[in-house]
């Protein structure tokens, strides 16, 4: 059965994360049967991480504040989580299904495909986004 996506529901969650006047910093999207649907959103990144279990496969759109001594800015990332206990067929399918999620979550600085919870540490994600962000003026502050 072909995968579908609840575009309106997922777009609403995506827009909450993108909204500068909102404290929502993440939204997740999961499989409900053969449809990708919003799975939640919140202001605490640890809450997002708690959804990333060994038997889950989901997508996360996350806002992280990065920057240096000269400027702070919001950066966005798309995280694809594939738990260790997800079957081979489901693992393969998630790569093609991700294009539907990218139709909704179009603006992000970096994409991650993760199956090890340690790679979801906030400092690791923030540093990777900082590297992708270009100029870094931290060295001048020292």
For strands 72-82 and 110-114, give the pairing.
Answer: parallel
Can you name the residues that pair with 64 across neighbouring β-strands? 75
In 3D space, the residue among 51, 34, 37 whose CA is nearest the CA of residue 93 turns out to be 34
Beta strand extents in 35-120 (DSSP E only)? 35-42, 57-67, 72-82, 110-114
Delineate the domains of the chain, giving CATH numbers in brackets: 4-133 (3.40.20.10)
pTM: 0.89
Q: How do residues 35-50 score in pLDDT, each as one tens digit?
A: 999 999 999 999 999 9
Q: How do residues 93-126 score in pLDDT, each as one tens digit?
A: 998 999 999 999 999 999 999 999 999 999 999 9
Q: What percent of the chain has pLDDT over 90?
A: 79
């Amino acid at each position: 059965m072909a995968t579908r996506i609840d575009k309106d529901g997922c777009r609403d969650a995506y827009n909450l994360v993108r909204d500068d006047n909102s404290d929502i910093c993440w939204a997740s999207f999961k499989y409900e049967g053969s449809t990708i649907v919003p799975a939640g959103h919140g202001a605490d990144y640890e809450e997002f991480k708690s959804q990333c279990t060994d038997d889950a496969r989901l997508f996360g759109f996350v806002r992280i504040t990065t920057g240096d001594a000269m400027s702070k800015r919001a950066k966005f990332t798309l995280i694809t989580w594939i738990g260790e206990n997800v079957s081979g067929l489901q693992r393969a399918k998630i790569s093609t299904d991700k294009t539907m999620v990218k139709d909704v979550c179009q603006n992000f600085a970096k994409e991650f495909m993760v199956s090890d919870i340690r790679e979801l540490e906030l400092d690791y994600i923030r540093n990777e986004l900082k590297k992708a962000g270009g100029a870094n003026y931290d060295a001048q502050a020292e």
